[in-house]
Chains A and B, each alone.
Chain A
């Protein structure tokens, strides 16, 4: 391609990090659900899409209020968490059944959710402006960096830190870590697993839905968002090792940057680079970077 200067490099790096960390927020929910409940949720991308759509309509209702965007993120996240709880309830009979069945059932739900969204809201592109205060760009050392991208990076790292805090320092976190390690034992020790599972699924759905709305100002909202996000998210989880949070973080940064720099090298095959990475990693280390074999 054309000349790659330091400016371009930094821009690409930030852009790749932004995309990667959005993937991380969605992958987080997936990893959490898989780690604690051993459930594979192919419909997680659909939850992301629902968050964007719900968020858009909540936002347009409150447009003139202060902090309308942040309120929408919160409410959208909660709405999607609710949808997630419904999905979790429907998935209960699948705890015992293999991952194949879970993949199939959630795959069916991607069809259902996508068509429902299309039925209610499809037919237009929706766009959301960046929230006030984050519209422009920061100029650092002569390089223009869009403020909103920096914000997204900040928020996802914040979520990361909060998660770490939750898992490492709180009692609930301890229970979750124990459940990842040995679910049955946790049940025997008297923790009510159904509540734990519902909570975990709800949190995962909340983060995915919030991510959907948070990412929306950088692009557009439309049907097809679910398919676009779920494949990279799964790739991230597989590369990082299913169920590993650290793995998801590192893998999402890898995927984001590979994609961003792939665009510089060979734009039409940028997606393909990501697949090449997956293939290579799965061959060298089939359980992913941090997965358990």
Chain B
């Protein structure tokens, strides 16, 4: 009798995750018809933040590489789309993949140099390249519009309405997230985790660490660029500030607070960060202080982020469940 209860519990435990996914998908689909426009705008920002943070986590959580210059690829994606649409008149849906190719190439070049170093040098090098790209974007005003950036980048009329743009973003981000999930759980992803956990050992068993880090860098950059391409038609504008290291701090905070070792971590982090930024911004001018405190607390007491904490508690519950009887 007890064994049966256990078995059904375990079955239930596995499928509840599926339930959560289905329910949230349902909610996500209905929601634009229930909410006024501004919260939908926030949801779009949240979705783009999710993608940005997930792309960042390919480097951080999965490969163990801390980058301070990730916003550069976000910005490249955004600028690519904006320039292709405004200067070459290319349609948005075609501009996105073209922009991603350009982002990928630049990420490949930069990644080639960055993947040859580790840890702190890697962090500073990514920062250096990020700032370099930022400087180029600001100075080349004949091409990029300089500090003013590029304005009036509107999405095509088919997705121009608030609800439709939201669905478009939802679909793109969901597909991209599934792809990233598949990458995490592929032999490639597991190899990266191997490198993260023990570099010397990985090298000794024949893994070409540099090559894998390089590929992770490129993939991570392309997804960040995708997030940027969505962001430019949401805001109708792009400016060099979206490439700098201040913006680069965003996916970092999202991923760390949400949890770098859990797939859903960056998603939780993106939610917290987006809501904090806007709601805290309404109340006090010192929202950076609040975010700083939250980040410090998380790094100190919750090394796996909130996602990691939740996962731990669930694991403990599962243990006590299965061992108690």
Contact = CB atoms under 8 A, between A and B. Distances in A.
B300 interface: yes
Among A111, A119, A238, A286: residue with most chain B CB under 10 A: A111
A283 B135 contact: no
* Chief secondary structure at chain A's binding surface: helix
A144 interface: no
Contact of A269 (B113, B139, B252): B139
B325 interface: no
Given A105-B300, A108-B296, A114 B288 contact: yes
A99 interface: yes
A93 B301 CA distance: 10
A182 to B, nearest CB: 20
Contact of A112 (B117, B289, B303): B289
Interface stretch (A208-216, A251-259, A274-282): A274-282
Given A104-B256, A269-B135, A234 B124 contact: yes
Interface string B30-61: 00000000000000000000000000000000
B131 A231 contact: yes
Interface in A249-272: 268-269, 271-272
Interface residues of B, number: 33
Contact of B249 (A107, A269, A283): A107
B119 A275 contact: no
Interface in B282-315: 286, 288-289, 291-293, 295-296, 299-300, 303
Interface residues of A, number: 36
Interface in B96-140: 113, 116-117, 119-121, 123-125, 127-129, 131-132, 135, 139
Contact of B120 (A40, A104, A283): A40
A104 to B, nearest CB: 5
A275 B126 CA distance: 10
* Chief secondary structure at chain B's binding surface: helix
A139 interface: no
B66 interface: yes
B293 A238 contact: no
A111 B289 contact: yes
A107 B299 CA distance: 10
A119 B289 contact: yes
Interface string A120-157: 00000000000000000000000000000000000000
Nearest to B286: A115
**Which 10 pairs from chain A and chain B are nearest by CB?**
A111-B292, A115-B289, A112-B292, A108-B295, A108-B296, A275-B128, A105-B299, A111-B288, A108-B292, A115-B288
Contacts of A97: 303
Contacts of A90: 300
Contacts of A101: 299, 303
A178 interface: no
A131 to B, nearest CB: 34
19 contacts: A40-B120, A99-B120, A100-B64, A100-B66, A101-B299, A103-B120, A105-B296, A111-B288, A111-B291, A112-B296, A119-B286, A235-B124, A238-B124, A268-B135, A269-B139, A275-B132, A278-B124, A279-B113, A286-B117
